[in-house]
Structure 1
Amino acid sequence: MPQTGPTPPSWGWPGSGRGRAAHTARPPRWQATTVQGCGLYPHTAGSGAPAIGVPMGRHMLWGEVVALDPVDWVRAGLCTNPGVYILGEPGVGKSAFSKRLAAGLVAYGTGVVVLGDLKGEYGDLVSRLGGQVVRIGWGLDRINPLDAGALSAAVTSLEGTNPEKAEALRAEVRARRLNLLLALCLIARGSRGAPITDAEELALGGALDILARRGDRQPLIPEVMHTIETAGPEMEQAVLARSPGEYRQLTDSVLRTLARICRGILKGLFDAPTTTPADLRAPAVSIDLFALDQAADDIVAASMLCTWAYGFGSIDASRAAGDRRPYLTIQDELWRSLRVAPGLVERTDRVSRLNRGKGIGSVITTHSLADSDALPTPEDRIKARGLVERAAITVMGALPDNELARVHEVRALTTRERQLVASWSAPESWETGRPHPGRGKYLIKNAGRLGIPVEMTLTAAERELYNTDQAISAG
């Protein structure tokens, strides 16, 4: 029936016994799925955020749980490739995001391989998950980046039953080894060094072919150098030299480059047989380079490249041995290796390029796309941009406006998305002791779809394992 009389105040009529409330009580809040909640409130609708994969956090507008699994997203048709590119300011939780993704995927049976952990951030988590940590450094573990491991055994076993597949695997092993050697030569020559000549590439390939025929053990980089140095008719023919003198002239430069690798920047690191092979039967593997973090840029770049080649080769070897589970690789500080010498972007891409058909997802983290501006040549900068464009999923933490403009050139952002991510960037005041305002806030952008704003809250165990500010806090 229609109301008569004046409208009561929002807190009730004042006076004794008239229902006056000192404050408005907050009612209890309940959460349910849209399937359950529609019975109570038929207009309930979700945001459509994907629920496939690891729960990463709650939708900042709708409160739904948002999940992520790059491999399963490809299988479900949500994205075109399993590449994830994470960028954001220091302190916003980029590594925490990748660590939660890694820990959750291990629980789902995915193998996680951390390739070149320069800051030593993943060792505790991998150990807690029951995985393996291989620590590379002088006096520590060593790996042979030319080690094809079980892939060589697979080639041998297939020669009698499936010679075509055996030949394809043999060609893949050779291509991986040759690309790695060419990239290492570029690093050893530095930003002003001469490019690799055709004769030098032929010499490296010829030496690998000779060493591969031994069949008793994996080739080593010093052995490649020795094979080129000792020459012989087969090596002369490999470089199309018409005489021993011409052969020496064509190979002198690459010999000096290999000498710098074996006796200089990589001596004692990647010049001997693998001491602790990566065990991909473990739930997770971390190849830790923390002991080399303060080394010169060329040492770090060469070490990261060797680690990537070895890690991807190990996954391929596991695949050849019958392992069909999905994998996730994590690469941090990518730009630190690419800026050392011209041409490294293309060589690195060839070493680390993944086939989505193999069920391998990849995570690359960086602070800024501006890191690519430090690359030596315009061609390298264009190719580096392609690395970002090929990652179907971009995860953005707090970023300033100028950085968002760079991202917009690669991954189109709406005005509202740019405003939201930028709002996480600046602290509200100069008050000390408060976390970064963007800590735990991310925008997941998948190709042309609208971005998903997610806020991640860490559990007590995660705060202990994911804390990357321990050194600062202790100081």
Structure 2
Amino acid sequence: MTADAPVPRPWGWALPHGGRAANVEAGTRYAGTTSQLCGLFPFAVASGADVRGVPIGRHLYTAETVGLDPAHWLRTGLVSNTGVWVQGQPGIGKSSITKRLILGLVGFGLRAVVPGDVKGEYTPLIAALGGTVWRIGRGRHTLNPLDPGPYQPAIAAAVGAERTRLAETLRARRLALLDALLTVVAGRDTDPTGRRLLGSALDLVTHTTDAPLIPEVLHVLTRGGDLLHRIAAATGPDDYARTTRTLVNTLGLLCDGPLRGLFDQPSTVRPDADSPAVSLDISALDGDTDDIVAAAMLCSWAWAAALTDTTTRNVVQVQDELWRALRAAPGLVEKADRITRLGRHHGVVSLQITHSLDDLDALATDADRAKARGLASRTAILVLGGMPERELDRLRGIVSLTDSERALVASWAAPPTWHTGHRHPGRGKYLIKSGQRIGLPVALTLSPAEIALHDTDTAFHAGGPR
């Protein structure tokens, strides 16, 4: 047919023997289950995802782009909160999908906050976003747990009841963090008398300075005074010294023990209201004991919570290596939750990343383990990477998985053969679950600009194993 030849109408040529149909009857609609009709209709599995959001990959069955934006999902009624739980075995790309979400959500106007980056793996991304990275460690930046930080300008600008609320919130967060640090050092909770003594000593110090230091609180607590003597019910200086000896020595370990130089000096970390992303990099402490890392993570979380509590800008916050802090001492799950308790009411998208629910077994008490499971079960969105069947069995109490979903996630756990040179079957593949809905299996492909920012295997490149 040439370009200038007549084009037939939709129902054929209007000529004799031209194949024209005067009437086209409507088709008959039949209904059936996907088990019966999947051969006739091969598109029986729809993605069911709104494309709006951060593009996290293509649906494995339909190739449709899948978008994930917890804030948008909350606004449209798909979820009840903006918590995201990311779980999968090491090396399958948990940090990749987390960084993709950070990158996209910052582009949507949210501020990224990464408190306590244990391995420093988010530092290149935060720097590429034009954000601020504070490297915490001996001889580096210091973080004073009692520093008002972001609260100071907020309190100075507030008046009336709002000023009182912020001041009381700051005091409560200081005491909660100080109590948590003492729990890490001592390995047990502070008794009620010790908490009252700490609170009164802190109040006495804050009457003279806006940025108290732990050594100053220790000095006031050691010196005593009428108020502290009454709280301790001491009959004299010697009785007071005996009563407070354990508390004084525990607080002293924050200044003289392995933590010396980290949290007993004025803070050099300063909040930047205009920065699109902030990270507290504690990778310099990665080789230290769990107690030191836990203390650094708790301080970083508290600082980030203060930053979020005093800003009107929505935030995406990442908590990676979560259990490394919580397993340091009994009761830290509740204390950490008290320090960082923020959510949809504060405009926070929370990303919590872990390898396995086996991490829960490392927590000290049954109460801690139950509360930690609650952290996972309360998140509205789960991102599941490759993991073995045994781990999927443990997830049953948190999320409902169909047999096909279980088989799919388990197939990503390991290559089927010992032949090398093939891409790991689970690299960049995830199952997005929320409520009782059918999950969204997606495959993430990194852009060239992202590859260098997402590489967590740099120690094995070029020079080989060390």
Provide the TM-score with structure 1 as the length reference. 0.85
Residue 240 of structure 1 deviates from its aligned partner by: 5.1
User: Gaps spanning 5+ residues in structure 1: where?
Assistant: 1-42
The list of structure 1 runs, each at least 4 consecutive aligned residues, that deviate by more than 6 angstroms after superposition, is none
Rate the CA distance shift 1:231–1:65 in 2: closer, same or farther, 3 A: same
Residue 184 of structure 2 corresponds to residue 175 of structure 1:
no
Match of 1:330 in 2: 318
Give the Cα separation in 1 of the matches to 2:119 and 2:79: 31
Residue 241 of structure 1 deviates from its aligned partner by: 4.5
* Contact in 2 for aligned 1:199/1:251 (Cα 8 Å): no
Match of 1:354 in 2: 342
Match of 2:14 in 1: none
**Alignment root-mean-square deviation, CA:** 1.9
Match of 2:9 in 1: none
* Contact in 1 for aligned 2:144/2:213 (Cα 8 Å): yes
Letter in 1 for 2:398: V
- SS of 2:361's equivalent in the other structure is helix
Give the Cα separation in 1 of the matches to 2:320 and 2:184: 19
- SS of 1:265's equivalent in the other structure is coil
Residue 212 of structure 2 corresponds to residue 219 of structure 1:
yes
Give the Cα separation in 2 of the matches to 1:72 and 1:255: 49
Give the Cα separation in 1 of the matches to 2:167 and 2:234: 26
Match of 2:16 in 1: none
Residues 403-451 of structure 1 show CA distances to partners (whole Å, capped at 9, x for unaligned) of 0111111122222211111111120211223332100100111122221
Letter in 2 for 1:401: E
* Contact in 1 for aligned 2:45/2:61 (Cα 8 Å): no
* Contact in 2 for aligned 1:178/1:204 (Cα 8 Å): yes
Match of 1:120 in 2: 120
Letter in 2 for 1:87: Q
Residue 149 of structure 2 corresponds to residue 149 of structure 1:
yes
Residue 385 of structure 1 deviates from its aligned partner by: 0.7
**Please, which of 426, 430, 445 is the counterpart of residue 438 of structure 1?**
426
Match of 1:312 in 2: 305
Report matched runs for 1:284-295 at 5 Å.
284-295=277-288
Match of 2:62 in 1: 62
Rate the CA distance shift 1:57–1:453 in 2: closer, same or farther, 3 A: same
Residue 52 of structure 1 deviates from its aligned partner by: 3.0
* Contact in 2 for aligned 1:59/1:455 (Cα 8 Å): yes
Report matched runs for 1:3-402 at 5 Å.
47-158=47-158, 161-162=159-160, 164-190=161-187, 194-214=188-208, 216-239=209-232, 241=234, 243-317=236-310, 319=311, 324-402=312-390
Provide the TM-score with structure 2 as the length reference. 0.87
Give the Cα separation in 1 of the matches to 2:343 and 2:355: 26
* Contact in 1 for aligned 2:84/2:351 (Cα 8 Å): yes
Give the Cα separation in 2 of the matches to 1:153 and 1:211: 20
Give the Cα separation in 2 of the matches to 1:156 and 1:240: 37
* Contact in 1 for aligned 2:429/2:444 (Cα 8 Å): yes
Rate the CA distance shift 1:252–1:465 in 2: closer, same or farther, 3 A: same
Give the Cα separation in 1 of the matches to 2:142 and 2:222: 25
Letter in 2 for 1:252: R
Rate the CA distance shift 1:239–1:444 in 2: closer, same or farther, 3 A: farther
Letter in 2 for 1:262: C
Give the Cα separation in 1 of the matches to 2:123 and 2:273: 16
Give the Cα separation in 2 of the matches to 1:438 and 1:50: 24
Report matched runs for 1:393-472 at 5 Å.
393-472=381-460
Letter in 2 for 1:184: L
Give the Cα separation in 2 of the matches to 1:433 and 1:183: 48
Give the Cα separation in 2 of the matches to 1:294 and 1:149: 27
User: Gaps spanning 5+ residues in structure 2: where?
Assistant: 1-42
Rate the CA distance shift 1:420–1:313 in 2: closer, same or farther, 3 A: same
Which stretch has the larger CA shift, 243-252 or 289-298? 243-252
- SS of 2:461's equivalent in the other structure is helix
Which stretch has the larger CA shift, 344-353 or 205-214? 205-214
* Contact in 2 for aligned 1:444/1:451 (Cα 8 Å): yes
Residues 55-88 of structure 1 show CA distances to partners (whole Å, capped at 9, x for unaligned) of 1111111211111122222222111111111010
Give the Cα separation in 1 of the matches to 2:75 and 2:259: 41
Rate the CA distance shift 1:452–1:242 in 2: closer, same or farther, 3 A: farther
Give the Cα separation in 1 of the matches to 2:343 and 2:45: 37
Give the Cα separation in 1 of the matches to 2:117 and 2:154: 29
Give the Cα separation in 2 of the matches to 1:330 and 1:300: 16
Residue 250 of structure 1 deviates from its aligned partner by: 2.9
Give the Cα separation in 2 of the matches to 1:342 and 1:208: 24
Give the Cα separation in 2 of the matches to 1:242 and 1:156: 41
* Contact in 2 for aligned 1:111/1:280 (Cα 8 Å): no
Give the Cα separation in 2 of the matches to 1:69 and 1:238: 51
Match of 2:34 in 1: none
Residue 100 of structure 1 deviates from its aligned partner by: 0.5
Letter in 2 for 1:144: N
- SS of 1:409's equivalent in the other structure is coil
Residue 312 of structure 1 deviates from its aligned partner by: 1.2
* Contact in 1 for aligned 2:317/2:349 (Cα 8 Å): yes
Residue 365 of structure 1 deviates from its aligned partner by: 0.6
Residue 470 of structure 1 deviates from its aligned partner by: 1.1
Give the Cα separation in 1 of the matches to 2:120 and 2:190: 34
Aligned length: 422
Match of 1:34 in 2: none
* Contact in 1 for aligned 2:327/2:364 (Cα 8 Å): yes
Residue 242 of structure 1 deviates from its aligned partner by: 5.5
Residue 49 of structure 1 deviates from its aligned partner by: 0.6
- SS of 1:286's equivalent in the other structure is strand
* Contact in 2 for aligned 1:52/1:73 (Cα 8 Å): no
Rate the CA distance shift 1:297–1:72 in 2: closer, same or farther, 3 A: same
Give the Cα separation in 2 of the matches to 1:359 and 1:240: 45
- SS of 1:55's equivalent in the other structure is strand
Which stretch has the larger CA shift, 431-440 or 361-370? 431-440
Letter in 1 for 2:219: H
Which stretch has the larger CA shift, 84-93 or 166-175? 166-175
Residues 326-354 of structure 1 show CA distances to partners (whole Å, capped at 9, x for unaligned) of 10111111111111111111111111111
Residue 45 of structure 1 deviates from its aligned partner by: 9.6
* Contact in 2 for aligned 1:143/1:277 (Cα 8 Å): no
**Percent of aligned pairs with the same amino acid:** 48
